Amino acid sequence: MKYGMNMLLWTTNVGEEHFPILERLKSMGYDGVEIPIFDLELEPYRKLAEKCDELGLERTAVTVCSSEANPASPDPALRKAGLEHITQVVDACAVLGAKLLCGPYHSAIGEFSGDGPTEDERKWSQETLGHAADHAQAADVMLGLEYLNRFECYLLNSAADCAEFVRAVDHPNLRMIYDTFHANIEEKHVDEAIRTCADVTCHVHISENDRSTPGAGHVEWDKTFHTLKETEYDGWMTVEAFGLALPELAAATKIWRKMYTSEDQLAEAALKFMKTNWNA
C-alpha cells in the first residue's frame, strides 16, 4: 500500500513556492503526492519532478474536463477538444513522472442536461476515452476514471456505472478510481460497491463526508477498509480534502467554511488514520 496526499488542499497549481509543503509531507511519512494538472505548460512539471525525485516522493495526477472540452458532448468539435485536453494532460504526466491520471474527465464537471445520461453520451465518451487510453498507453500512464455524485455530474454516478463504462471500453490503460466521498452519497452499501468495481479499480481516494479530516465524520470506514483488504486492493490510498484556499474550486466543491485546524494537521491526522485502519 502507498499513501498519498492530494495537493488540492493547498493549490490548483503546484509551483516552487509549494516545495516546503512537499518537504513537510515527506517528513510526515507520505509516499507520494497527487498533483492537479490544469495548467498545460510543461516546464513547471519538470521542475516539480526534480524536486519530488530529490525528496523521494512519487506522483499521481488529477484533472477535469470543462464544457468547452467535453468528451461526452453531442458536438464532435467539443469531443475533439476533450480528447486533445486529456492527451495534453497525459503528456504533462509523462514529464511529471506520474504513472496514474485520475479524475472525472469522462464528461464536463458541473455540466447538466436536465436529464440522465443517454446511451449516445456514454458511447461518445467511451469512444473519446478509448483514443485517450491509446495515447496514455504510449506514455506509460494509466487513466483512472472517477465517478462523481449526482450534484457534480450526471454521466457516471456509481461504482457500478463506472465499472460498466470501463469494461465496455476494454482498454488496458483505462481503469477507475473509488472515492469514499462520492460513495458515501451515492452507494446504498459501500462494501457491495467496492466489490462491484474491484477488478477495474486502480486507485482510491480517502475523503470524509464533509471533505475535511478522514476519520472525523461518518463515512463507513471500518467496512471500507475491510472490503478493500478483502478484495486484495494494493495500490494508492490518497487523501482528497478541500479547504478555503481555492476560491476557484468553490463552485464545484461547495466548501464555504473551514472544518479543520490547519492543512498540516489534517495531513498528519489523515496519514495516521489510514495506516492505523489498514494495519488493523
Read off the pLDDT band of 132 (50, 70, 90): very high
pLDDT tens digits, residue range 255-268? 778 889 999 999 99
Task: Please count the residues of the chain.
Answer: 280
Read off the pLDDT band of 59 (50, 70, 90): very high
Average pLDDT in the 168-186 region? 98
Using alpha carbons, list the distances in angstroms from residue 250 to 101, 130, 242, 262: 22, 31, 9, 18
DSSP letter at 65?
A: B
CA distance 148 to 195: 18
> Does 87 have pLDDT greater than 90?
yes
117 and 165 in contact (C-beta within 8 Å)? no
| Residues in CB range of 202: below 8 A, 6 or more apart | 100, 142, 144, 175, 176, 177, 235
CA-CA-CA-CA torsion sign (46, 47, 48, 54) = positive
Residue 58's Cβ-count burial label (10 Å; 0-12, 13-18, 19+) is middle
Q: What percentage of the chain carries pLDDT values higher than 70?
A: 97
Beta partners for residue 58, in sequence order: 32
230 and 278 in contact (C-beta within 8 Å)? no
Read off the pLDDT band of 254 (50, 70, 90): confident
In this structure, of 105-109, 113-117, 227-231, the range with the lowest mean pLDDT score is: 113-117
- Predicted pLDDT at 251: 66
Q: How many helices (H) and strands (E) does the chain have?
A: 10, 8
Average pLDDT in the 14-22 region? 97
> Does 146 have pLDDT greater than 80?
yes
E-assigned strand segments in the chain: 2-6, 32-36, 58-62, 98-103, 142-146, 174-179, 201-206, 236-239
pTM comes to: 0.96
Q: What is the DSSP string of 217-278?
A: S-S-HHHHHHHHHHTT--SEEEE----SS-GGGHHHH---S--SS-HHHHHHHHHHHHHHHH
HSE on the CB side for 83, CA within 13 Å?
19
> Does 249 have pLDDT greater than 90?
no
C-alpha cell at 251: 463552485
CA distance 262 to 157: 31
CA distance 160 to 92: 30
